[in-house]
Amino acid sequence: MRTELVDTLVSTLPADDDHPYRSGPWRPMVNEWNAEPEVVQGAIPGDLDGTYLRNTENPLHPALASYHPFDGDGMLHMVEFRDGRAAYRNRFVRTDGLAAEADSDTQLWAGFIEMPDVALREDGWGIRGRMKDASSTDVVVHGGEALTSFYFCGDLYRIDLSTGETLGKQTWDGRIPSWGVSAHTKVDPRTGELLFFSYSKQEPYLRFGVVSAEGELLRMRDVPLPGPRMPHDMAFTENYAILNDFPLYWRPEHLEAGLHLPHFYREQPSRFALVRRDGTGDIRWFEADPTYVLHFVNAYEDGDTVVLDGFFQGQPLPPTDGASSLEEIAFRGLALDGMQTQLHRWRFDLRTGRTTEEHLSDRYTEFGMMNATAHTVPHRFVYAATGEPGRFLFNGLVKHDVVTGAETEVALEPGVFCSETVFAPRVGSGAEDDGYLVTFTIDMNADASFCVVLDAADPSGEPVCTLRLPERISSGTHSTWAGRSELAGASMLG
Ligand SMILES: [Fe+2]
């Protein structure tokens, strides 16, 4: 393996840190590397062509009161494959918050489970204010650059796909909404458009926007809600964006007092907004069973019906009995078995305004990915993570066949965890599952991380290849795959 240590950032975390989300598989990295990773098993297929991008949370300073894994600074890992070769780079996202905290050698803003008034600074980002935009939640590729983002609304940071360097912020010629943009922007692979939503504690509480393939903000539209909400994801079909109003939100009576206490209003329906992408027509609302959804997989139009697949939560706020701390309560809500996340299908009838829905699987899975060419059309395969009981860690994955109901499980060895696993189509592929699954593992047994490539047609078989990364990475949240054409000429392979 050829490696070059490019930089090491200063961490003020204690050497004997035992926080469950800053140690073990969540131990943050401080090093930035360029590497040609060693192939330790199999061979890199010549028809795997593109880049796997993975965002992770890497805190550099102790929290002011209580640390939550969503607070860690964004670090983007990238592996590019071409002609049977691979190159790896990892870089911190150079956010404004990271720079300010490097100057002061301390955490300056409040985290997810802290009161905003613990912040040492009056300014900040996010719907609650006085938080740091760590840009560690999501990553997409649009306009030949990676864009990292923050779940509570913030800036979009532009990352160079050749170097991993942060290029600044994407503002779409200064037209980005003042509320910022939420994580889980969506790129439509058919049109190249980027769809986004933005939310606030101010009316109308939710907005939806469309950016052209060329980077021009084409339109924004208000999607008025009854009050502040916490949407995390959206979906889209050929003609519609699907936004949501779930009955999990901050108690309004406490919000007036500055307290952000989420409550699940079990007696209230979930509501889905169908908004035409072209800006015409009225917003149509559909009611459904109460739940909360972190992530959707796909949506498409089927005659007069709009079909939406995502992960229904049986327990959006897991029971708190026996919990001894706020952290423990919050961490229960990170585990897939705590949230009881099941692949689910909603069908919205445009003629009657009615919704029908059903579980597509009995298993708890989440973080579902698919062949991007099946977006906005009926898909068959969803590749989703399985969760380590009680933890925010992925201990394997399941290939869901939503047509036959068949499920293929890939269970990792105890102590080995994977990342959100993407589908990379084989060059010249035909069938929906003709390609590869790409993930990073955090192998506590080997004290190492690997990039593992599986055959998507038979993921339970021997990996196609396994590449060793320079050091064990931290776990994190989201990933994406960018095929060669999306890289727009950018390359780490020279
Ligand atoms: Fe997410």
Tens of each residue's pLDDT in the chain, 494 residues: 799 999 999 999 999 999 999 999 999 999 999 999 999 999 999 999 999 999 999 999 999 999 999 999 999 999 999 999 999 999 999 999 999 999 999 999 999 999 999 999 999 999 999 999 999 999 999 999 999 999 999 999 999 999 999 999 999 999 999 999 999 999 999 999 999 999 999 999 999 999 999 999 999 999 999 999 999 999 999 999 999 999 999 999 999 888 999 999 999 999 999 999 999 999 999 999 999 999 999 999 999 999 999 999 999 999 999 988 888 999 999 999 999 999 999 999 999 999 999 999 999 999 999 999 999 999 999 999 999 999 999 999 999 999 999 999 999 999 999 999 999 999 999 899 999 999 999 999 999 999 999 999 999 999 999 999 999 999 999 999 999 999 999 999 98
Query: In angstroms, what is the span from residue 327 Cα to ligand 1's centroid?
Result: 20
Q: In what order do the strands lie in the sheet with 50-57?
A: 2-8, 31-36, 85-92, 74-82, 50-57, 476-483
Query: In angstroms, what is the span from residue 234 Cα to ligand 1's centroid?
Result: 10
Query: In angstroms, what is the span from residue 233 Cα to ligand 1's centroid?
Result: 7
Query: In angstroms, what is the span from residue 294 Cα to ligand 1's centroid?
Result: 6
Res 140: pLDDT: 98
Query: In angstroms, what is the span from residue 38 Cα to ligand 1's centroid?
Result: 31
Query: In angstroms, what is the span from residue 40 Cα to ligand 1's centroid?
Result: 31
**How far is it, in rounded angstroms, from Cα 259 to Cα 283?**
31
**How far is it, in rounded angstroms, from Cα 432 to Cα 52?**
19
Query: In angstroms, what is the span from residue 138 Cα to ligand 1's centroid?
Result: 7
Query: In angstroms, what is the span from residue 296 Cα to ligand 1's centroid?
Result: 9
Res 326: pLDDT: 86
In Å, the largest CA–CA distance within the chain is 61
Query: At 279, which amino acid appears?
Result: G
Strands 248-250 and 206-211: unpaired
Query: In angstroms, what is the span from residue 92 Cα to ligand 1's centroid?
Result: 19
Query: In angstroms, what is the span from residue 3 Cα to ligand 1's centroid?
Result: 31
Query: In angstroms, what is the span from residue 232 Cα to ligand 1's centroid?
Result: 6
Residue 7 is classified by DSSP as E
Query: In angstroms, what is the span from residue 139 Cα to ligand 1's centroid?
Result: 10
Query: In angstroms, what is the span from residue 150 Cα to ligand 1's centroid?
Result: 9
Query: In angstroms, what is the span from residue 459 Cα to ligand 1's centroid?
Result: 24
Query: In angstroms, what is the span from residue 35 Cα to ligand 1's centroid?
Result: 28
Query: In angstroms, what is the span from residue 295 Cα to ligand 1's centroid?
Result: 6
Cβ-proximal residues to 346 (8 Å cutoff; 6+ apart), any chain? 272, 286, 288, 307, 308, 309, 310, 355, 356, 357
Query: In angstroms, what is the span from residue 385 Cα to ligand 1's centroid?
Result: 13
Q: How far is CA 121 from the centre of its chain?
A: 27
Residue 69 is classified by DSSP as G
Query: In angstroms, what is the span from residue 184 Cα to ligand 1's centroid?
Result: 7
Q: Which residue bears the tokens 């005659």?
A: 303
Compute the chain's Rg from CA coordinates.
21
Residue-range domains of the chain with CATH: 2-487 (2.130.10)
Q: Which residue bears the tokens 């959707």?
A: 296
Q: How far apart are the first and last CA of the chain?
A: 17
Query: In angstroms, what is the span from residue 120 Cα to ligand 1's centroid?
Result: 27
**How far is it, in rounded angstroms, from Cα 93 to Cα 158?**
9
**How far is it, in rounded angstroms, from Cα 231 to Cα 233?**
6
